């Protein structure tokens, strides 16, 4: 399939005529891709996802999922997507199994099929032995897995995951991502996810869009984005006391060298290839390398580069964040 699975053009949502949550966002997601929406809390990620899954109507702009318009053909969209929401939406008073069957019924899946599928999915997310327990007895990670299973019951072609690891501890987060990867492999879906964990986006997504204050600031593959910063940082120290700046500068791929009190900070493309070349060049001239470290730029630097503040800073201002969150919550609700 050459056509874009998701295509958004100028998607905008304004709450209460004044609060601009999503501001003319345009992007496209290709078939089989893992596309990540990355941004601090309150950046407009959930609002965007809610428009794509037809729960919110856009104020302006359009979007389509598998060629279906999200407003005019909302019901067609709903049939082909799966949703794993941010909150735990499973009914606590029911068992895991009852919840999954309920989800299946909402898609109108005949009982014979849904029963078989439910058991399959329980196996996949390793909840088989808990399937007849009430959901209120589940832990956070188990609930997340149950949500995953629910989102997959209709064998969706596109799966939307809104902050799938929010509020989970590190191990559970890692495990959850393992499940998601496995599910993707098993069913070959296109994934659209939001996260505010940079490492996660880096490790999982084929392409990401960084969103802040309702606007997409930049998008591309994590590698491209990092490369756009100008490459890796190699730090080198040598035993001898002479200045080798020019020598390092002459090595291929090296972009910039700075002597910082005897240790050299080298900016280079493809650091893992360049570093051995530098060592080689230094050796040939009889220098001894005592220390070397290679740092690849992280998405955090990308984020910093494009928004002018680190993502952590963006979250640091607790009052701002909380106020915005509360308004957003209220606004979304109304």
Contacts of 148 (CB under 8 A, 6+ apart): 84, 125, 164, 176, 179, 180, 183
Residue 75 interacting with another protein (CB under 8 A): yes
Binding residue (CB under 8 A) for another protein from 155, 182, 255, 258: 155
Binding residue (CB under 8 A) for another protein from 12, 50, 64, 195: 50
Least Cβ distance, residue 104 to another protein (angstroms)? 8
Place of tokens 């399937």: 131
Binding residue (CB under 8 A) for another protein from 55, 119, 166, 175: 55
- CB nearer to another protein: pick between 87 and 296: 87
Residue 102 interacting with another protein (CB under 8 A): yes
Q: Are strands 232-238 and 289-295 parallel, antiparallel or unpaired?
A: antiparallel
Residue 286 interacting with another protein (CB under 8 A): no
Among 145, 234, 196, 232, which residue's Cα sits nearest to residue 313?
A: 196
Residue 78 interacting with another protein (CB under 8 A): yes
Helix (H, G, I), strand (E, B) or coil at 193: strand
- The DSSP-derived string for 7-55 is EEEEEEEEETTTEEEEEEEEEEE-TT-EEEEE--TTSSHHHHHHHHTTS
Residue 157 interacting with another protein (CB under 8 A): yes
Kind and range of the H or E run holding 106: helix 96-106
- CB nearer to another protein: pick between 53 and 311: 53
Among 236, 269, 276, which residue's Cα sits nearest to residue 254?
A: 269
Residue 109 interacting with another protein (CB under 8 A): yes
Q: Kindly list the residues in this chain that would bind another protein in the complex (CB under 8 A).
A: 50, 53-57, 74-75, 78-81, 83, 85-89, 91, 93-94, 98, 101-103, 105-110, 150, 154-157, 330, 332-334
């Amino acid at each position: 399939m050459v056509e874009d699975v998701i295509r958004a053009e100028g998607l905008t949502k304004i709450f209460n005529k004044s609060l601009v949550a999503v501001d003319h966002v345009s992007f496209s997601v290709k078939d089989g891709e893992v596309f990540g929406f990355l941004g601090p809390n309150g950046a407009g990620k959930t609002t965007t996802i809610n428009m794509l899954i037809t729960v919110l109507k856009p104020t302006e702009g359009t979007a389509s999922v598998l060629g279906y318009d999200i407003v005019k053909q909302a019901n067609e969209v709903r049939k082909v997507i799966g949703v794993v929401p941010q909150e735990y939406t499973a009914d606590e008073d029911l068992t895991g199994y009852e919840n999954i069957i309920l989800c299946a019924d909402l898609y109108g899946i005949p009982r014979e099929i849904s029963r078989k599928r439910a058991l399959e999915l329980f196996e996949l997310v390793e909840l088989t032995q808990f399937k007849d327990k009430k959901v209120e007895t589940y832990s956070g990670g188990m609930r997340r897995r149950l949500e995953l299973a629910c989102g997959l019951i209709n064998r969706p072609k596109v799966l939307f995951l809104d902050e799938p690891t929010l509020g989970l501890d590190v191990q559970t987060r890692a495990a959850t991502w393992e499940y998601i990867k496995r599910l993707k492999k098993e069913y070959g879906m296109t994934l659209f996810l939001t996260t505010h964990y940079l490492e996660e986006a880096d490790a999982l997504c084929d392409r990401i869009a960084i969103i802040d204050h309702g606007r997409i600031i930049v998008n591309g593959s994590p590698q491209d984005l990092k490369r756009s910063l100008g490459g890796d940082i190699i730090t080198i120290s040598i035993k001898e006391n002479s200045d080798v700046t020019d020598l390092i500068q002459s090595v291929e791929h090296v972009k910039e060298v700075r002597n910082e009190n005897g240790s050299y900070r080298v900016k280079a493309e493809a650091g893992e290839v360049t570093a051995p070349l530098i060592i080689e060049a230094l050796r040939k001239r009889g220098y001894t390398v005592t220390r070397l470290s290679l740092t690849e730029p992280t998405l955090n630097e990308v984020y910093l580069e494009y928004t002018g503040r680190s993502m952590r800073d963006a979250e640091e201002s607790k009052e701002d964040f909380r106020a915005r969150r509360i308004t957003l919550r209220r606004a979304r609700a109304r």
